[in-house]
Amino acid sequence: MFVADLLRHGALEGGVKYRGRIEDNLTLEGHTQMNRVWKQVHNNIDLIIASPRSRCALPAQQWADKKAIPCIIEPRIAEMHYGDWEGLTHDEIEASFPNILTQWRKDPTGMRPPSGESPEELQTRIADFWQDACLSYRGKHALIVGHSGSTRMLIAHIQNQPIAYTRHISMPYACWSRVEHKHGKNKLLFVNADSESTTTS
């Protein structure tokens, strides 16, 4: 069996924007949000797998160093590359690319941000990552530190759902979910738990 806690990074400086490859720092509250979840799960974690973006990789490496466990930087769980949308707010994208976000937020299947990555490409690399992780880390409990888009896609893959399903998954900052792979089957154990009240064994 392979168990993974999924943690989205916390709040970022500069407010809400489309960030894929762009690096922005966590706010103080963002650090606090992530540390709150880490305190809930750290006793169970054997290794940490993190996106290469600093908002994920830096806290992940700090936690791993403190606990003396591996921290694996995994490019396949990086956020979607948003191309010409990178660094823009919703309103800025709407001004430059009218009406596209309405369809994107409903169902991005078959779409692609200009000069960016398609949801299908994200889906492929997430599925490849999960298949490898289930084999490589069998018997382990991992913390996977990622992003809104990549984590939504992983949850959709775990549940064998289409890309459109990702638009129905709430993904607030520092939200925490848990999935497992057991006897060849994937299962979502919980999604977006309240770190203040959820306990772990």
**Domain boundaries, given as residue ranges, for the chain:** 2-193
Residue whose pair of structure tokens reads 């800025």 in the numeric block: 92
Tens digits of per-residue pLDDT, 67-113? 999 999 999 999 999 999 999 999 999 999 998 999 999 999 999 99
Query: Average pLDDT, whole number, for the chain?
Result: 94
Q: Give the angle subtended at the CA of 11 by the CAs of 31 and 169, to the nearest 5°.
A: 120
Residue whose pair of structure tokens reads 């392979």 in the numeric block: 2
Dist. CA 47–CA 59, nearest whole Å: 13
Which of 3.30.1490.20, 3.90.1150.10, 3.90.1200.10, 3.40.50.1240 is the CATH number of 2-193? 3.40.50.1240
Dist. CA 82–CA 22, nearest whole Å: 9
Quick one: what percent of the chain has pLDDT higher than 90?
95
Q: pTM of the prediction?
A: 0.94
By residue count, the chain amounts to 201
Half-sphere exposure of 17 (CA within 13 A, CB side): 19
Tens digits of per-residue pLDDT, 183-192? 999 999 999 8
Tens digits of per-residue pLDDT, 89-98? 999 999 999 9
